[in-house]
Structure 1
Amino acid sequence: HTLGDSAAFNREVFQALEQKNLDVETKLVILRSYIQEMFNDSANFPRIGQLFDVLIDQHPHEHDIHDLYSRYFIVTKDYSKAAEQTERALDLDPADSEGWEMLTSLYLQVDRLDDARKAIKRSLRYYPDNSRQYLVLGSIYDQEGQRDKAAAEYRHALSLTDSTDVSQLSRIYGAMGDNLYAREQADSAFVYYQKSLLYDPDNTLALNNCAYYLACEGRDLDRALEMIEKAVGAEPENATSMDTYAWVLFKRKDYAKAREIIDRTLSLTDERSEEILEHAGDIYFMDGDPDGALRFWKEALELAPDNQLLAKKVKHKTYFFK
């Protein structure tokens, strides 16, 4: 569009949406095509918002308008506003199972664990057999360190999962493996990871976590390498898998390669976590760069001042085996 065309186009769309006698379906079709047309320029976002306001003002009780508004906010990465619109859509039609899962996931995106938990519990009134929601509920309890509650939710999810739903079974067994490892039951955890990968050999999360914990335990490092190479092959931009890859290489004493991979990990993520930075320090130290190591350890210690092992490394400027 030239500028004049664009202004005329806007006017036409506004006029169409303001018509009282036009049905909601048609208005949504117009709005969808308008969003597609205007989306590439963020300067248009306020206009898109105005159009939604016009529609909601006319049809406050239309589930599909709030649902579309929510999806628009998801694409613009405004997850809080997306959650707000999904809540409204669900108030109007609580029988929307996909909507409940979306709401849960939106709250998790913005770290509102309590709201996510409440959304799951509300959704289970309508869909008491939704195994996916029980799995997410378990993972919320795990994040909060409530391991027993988490394990109970995973068992419940398992009991509701059809034996043909191999990807869901794989996810549940993987989560059970994580839960058992966090409870310091490493042997049992590896049994569950094995079950998880039996159902879905391409489950990258299970591949990553199993490889990482094998490396932490210094066990079966050939298998750990095989697993993490598969995960990294599937998701080469995933910083978590890259960090695991570097750590497995470190444990295999392949320090030069480990350093190359940890450098790539750091380039993939803006969020320099304490764990990745400590790994980088350990790898640099063993690769013969104690000054580089100290820089990473100091940066990690700023993020985790209570980490005594890190403090010891910084104080003595050397690597310590746990």
Structure 2
Amino acid sequence: MHKKARVFYLILLVIAGNLPSFAQSSQISSPIAEKLSVDDSRKFDYFFYEAMNAKATNQYDAVFDYLKYCMAIDSTNANVLYELGNYYNSIESKNKAIDYYRRATVYDSDNHYYNMAYGSMCLEFKQYSDAIEQFEKLVAKDPDNTDLYIYLSESYRMDGNFKNAISTLDKLEQIVGMNEKISLQKYQLYTMMKQEKQAFAEIQKYIDKYPQEIKYQILLGDLYLQAGKTQEAYMVYSRAKSIDPDDPYLISSMAEYYQQTGNKDAAENELHIALVSPKMDIDTKLSILAQYVGTLQRTQKDTQAANALFDTLMIQHPQEPKLNLMYGNLLMMQNKKEESRFQYQLFAEANPTNPVGWEQMLYTTFPDSIDLSIKVCEQALTYITDQPQFYFYLGVSQYMKENYKDALDALQKGVVYVDENNTKLLADFYGQIGDLYYQIEKRDSAFAIYDKALSYDPNNLGVLNNYSYYLSLVKKDLDKAERMSSITVKAEPSNPTYLDTYGWVLFEQGAYTIAKIYIENAIKYSEEKKEDVSAEVLEHYGDVLYKTDEPEKALEYWEKAKEKGGSKSKTLEKKIETKTFIAE
């Protein structure tokens, strides 16, 4: 709810592959380096330095090849083993990486970087006893390296040895002095050991040393509150008030206290005081508001309570776009799309080259208002021409308005901006382009583009559905259509669109009884979801009923299809007139 002093977990971001290479000279240290012949030594040096040159230019395949040449000459060279560990780590082949790091430490047990790499990888593999052994050895050799104590303490913690983890941090504290992050970590460790007295004493020692520093009082109060000790929290907050009753962080902590103890009015009053305080910067105020909204959501309370607080901030900071963005998000949660769009528009106008504002505006318009969606996309593209999402929604919106030429133009322009690694978005783009080609009767081009889309994402359900359906309409490659459509119904067995498509493909294959089951289910699930059943689906069901010897019921559904309206069928009227199935 407010900007609390976060409990600091010393989580290690261990990326052993980023550790530096230690090829220091052509005389690479190795237990048997002196046994190499002059010719082999020259070859070894050549291949190793070529490997390092390739590494510097990110030619990783070449790195691997050169290192393997080195291994063929001297398989016990620790530097080569370490670099191979780095290589395998970079390609996520962790089992091989840890083995090569381990072997490197065997042949050069004193090397700091080899031991760090192996110890870090042991942590990743949850081989905590091995990690502890490595870091204990490193600490013994380099007792002034403060980072090593953090690694060792974390290894003990992850091994469940909280006592030794604390002891290691105590030693670190003797080197660096009192440190808030270390104390917070010790607080957490004592808490895990259910030694609350020692846990809170870790924070109390800061209060004892700096009695007029309000931040430590607030921190202790916050930790009491997190632990559910509301009475102790209130006592500490009261002491903090005697130092500075107007401190905005204390006020926001008090608001959290009142929220937890069920005094909603007092909580909102404290928040209001904090938000109008000139001592608090806008980012902190936004953070407090975000946490407050999160608390309201978490406790399933009406988020409308936050609107008045936003209004207060808007008056105080009328030119703050970040506030508009956050308020827009809150209004969007309340399904107030028009009001949220106004806030997003203010943000977008203040930051026209930031796609976030335009994207959020788009969420308020698509698919409810296609004309507005087109307008938002076109406005966004006047400022940022390389954002594919706006071309995509512009193309889809134009497609929905049956402006096929404009839709195709937007999609073809936008697809060139899609990152080649974003295969799902590429599939979506090409899938839409395929749909457009089919609509403008370029069917062979449509099917070729669908194949291209599926080459990027073989399980794109929208593409699989449309491709298979259009194949069934032209009675082409029905086996392929059936295979593709079957994937969609297995993925979403209650999706009416996919069920109808699969049923229609089966119908075209002559499997009328099975087709009837799927199209029947398409209608059933549409009705259960309170979705409209299209004239097309109703006509399909009539066709399959006719083919399964229910002509009277077939006529009933053909007539329902006609009543529904919007049918593009060329034979529906004839079917009703003749009471007979007529293929298109």
Q: Report the counterpart of residue 563 of structure 2 in structure 1.
A: 302
Q: Return the alpha-carbon distance in structure 1 between the equivalents of residues 553 and 273 of structure 2.
A: 63
Runs of 5+ consecutive residues of structure 1 not aligned to the other structure? none
Give a deviation string over 1:126-153, Cα, whole Å, max 9, x none. 2112233223322222222222222222
Task: Give yes or no for the alignment of 1:90 onto 2:348.
Answer: yes
- Give the residue type in structure 1 aligned to 2:572: L
Change (3 A) 1:305 1:227: closer
Change (3 A) 1:87 1:288: farther
Give the stretch that moved more between structures: 254-263 or 36-45: 36-45
Runs of 5+ consecutive residues of structure 2 not aligned to the other structure? 1-258
Task: Give yes or no for the alignment of 1:231 onto 2:501.
Answer: no
* 8 Å contact kept, 2:423–2:457: yes
Q: Report the counterpart of residue 52 of structure 1 in structure 2.
A: 310
Give the stretch that moved more between structures: 214-223 or 129-138: 129-138
Name the SS for the 1:109 alignment partner.
Answer: coil
Give the stretch that moved more between structures: 88-97 or 272-281: 272-281
Q: CA deviation at 1:83?
A: 2.5
Q: Return the alpha-carbon distance in structure 2 between the equivalents of residues 217 and 243 of structure 1.
A: 16
Change (3 A) 1:20 1:197: same
Task: Give yes or no for the alignment of 1:259 onto 2:516.
Answer: yes
Q: Return the alpha-carbon distance in structure 2 between the equivalents of residues 153 and 84 of structure 1.
A: 26
Q: Please list, as runs of the form range in 1=range in 2, the aligned pairs for 1:122-141 lying within 5 A after superposition.
A: 122-141=379-398
- Give the residue type in structure 2 aligned to 1:310: L
Task: Give yes or no for the alignment of 1:72 onto 2:330.
Answer: yes
Change (3 A) 1:300 1:13: farther
Of the three residues 244, 247, 250, the one matched with 2:504 is 247
Q: Report the counterpart of residue 233 of structure 2 in structure 1.
A: none
Name the SS for the 1:211 alignment partner.
Answer: helix
Q: Return the alpha-carbon distance in structure 2 between the equivalents of residues 3 and 159 of structure 1.
A: 56
Give a deviation string over 1:47-86, Cα, whole Å, max 9, x none. 2333332332332222222222333344444444332322
Give the stretch that moved more between structures: 311-320 or 210-219: 311-320
Give a deviation string over 1:8-62, Cα, whole Å, max 9, x none. 4344334433445432222222222222222368771432333332332332222
Q: Report the counterpart of residue 319 of structure 1 in structure 2.
A: 581
* 8 Å contact kept, 2:504–2:540: yes
Q: Report the counterpart of residue 467 of structure 2 in structure 1.
A: 210
Q: Return the alpha-carbon distance in structure 1 between the equivalents of residues 357 and 537 of structure 2.
A: 35
Name the SS for the 1:231 alignment partner.
Answer: helix
Change (3 A) 1:245 1:98: farther
- Give the residue type in structure 2 aligned to 1:109: P
- Give the residue type in structure 2 aligned to 1:319: F
Q: Return the alpha-carbon distance in structure 2 between the equivalents of residues 245 and 158 of structure 1.
A: 30
Q: Return the alpha-carbon distance in structure 1 between the equivalents of residues 497 and 581 of structure 2.
A: 23
Q: CA deviation at 1:224?
A: 1.0
Name the SS for the 1:39 alignment partner.
Answer: helix
Q: CA deviation at 1:262?
A: 2.7
Q: CA deviation at 1:162?
A: 4.3
Give a deviation string over 1:144-193, Cα, whole Å, max 9, x none. 22222222223222333444443333222212211110011211110110
Change (3 A) 1:11 1:288: farther
Q: Return the alpha-carbon distance in structure 2 between the equivalents of residues 213 and 221 of structure 1.
A: 10
Q: Return the alpha-carbon distance in structure 2 between the equivalents of residues 146 and 190 of structure 1.
A: 21
Q: Report the counterpart of residue 117 of structure 1 in structure 2.
A: 374
Change (3 A) 1:206 1:58: same
Name the SS for the 1:94 alignment partner.
Answer: coil
Change (3 A) 1:65 1:277: farther
TM-score of the aligned structures, taking structure 2 as reference length: 0.50
Give the stretch that moved more between structures: 220-229 or 269-278: 269-278
Give the stretch that moved more between structures: 250-259 or 184-193: 250-259
Q: Return the alpha-carbon distance in structure 2 between the equivalents of residues 154 and 13 of structure 1.
A: 48
* 8 Å contact kept, 2:395–2:406: yes
Q: Report the counterpart of residue 284 of structure 1 in structure 2.
A: 545
Q: Return the alpha-carbon distance in structure 2 between the equivalents of residues 229 and 87 of structure 1.
A: 43
Q: Report the counterpart of residue 23 of structure 2 in structure 1.
A: none
Change (3 A) 1:141 1:20: same
Give a deviation string over 1:176-226, Cα, whole Å, max 9, x none. 211110011211110110111112212222111101101111211111121
Name the SS for the 1:319 alignment partner.
Answer: coil
Change (3 A) 1:105 1:297: farther
Q: Please list, as runs of the form range in 1=range in 2, the aligned pairs for 1:177-192 lying within 5 A after superposition.
A: 177-192=434-449
Task: Give yes or no for the alignment of 1:275 onto 2:532.
Answer: no
Task: Give yes or no for the alignment of 1:152 onto 2:409.
Answer: yes
* 8 Å contact kept, 1:79–1:109: no
* 8 Å contact kept, 1:142–1:150: yes
Change (3 A) 1:155 1:313: same
Q: Return the alpha-carbon distance in structure 2 between the equivalents of residues 233 and 14 of structure 1.
A: 53
Q: Report the counterpart of residue 282 of structure 2 in structure 1.
A: 24
Task: Give yes or no for the alignment of 1:103 onto 2:365.
Answer: no
* 8 Å contact kept, 2:538–2:561: yes
Q: Report the counterpart of residue 39 of structure 1 in structure 2.
A: 297
Change (3 A) 1:40 1:288: farther
Identity among equivalent positions (%) equals 31
Name the SS for the 1:119 alignment partner.
Answer: helix
- Give the residue type in structure 1 aligned to 2:561: A
* 8 Å contact kept, 1:305–1:311: no
Change (3 A) 1:77 1:299: farther
Name the SS for the 2:353 alignment partner.
Answer: coil
Q: Return the alpha-carbon distance in structure 1 between the equivalents of residues 552 and 275 of structure 2.
A: 64
* 8 Å contact kept, 2:388–2:414: yes
Q: Return the alpha-carbon distance in structure 2 between the equivalents of residues 147 and 186 of structure 1.
A: 14
Give the stretch that moved more between structures: 209-218 or 27-36: 27-36
Q: Report the counterpart of residue 477 of structure 2 in structure 1.
A: 220
Residues paired across the two proteins, number: 321
Name the SS for the 1:202 alignment partner.
Answer: coil
Change (3 A) 1:225 1:40: farther
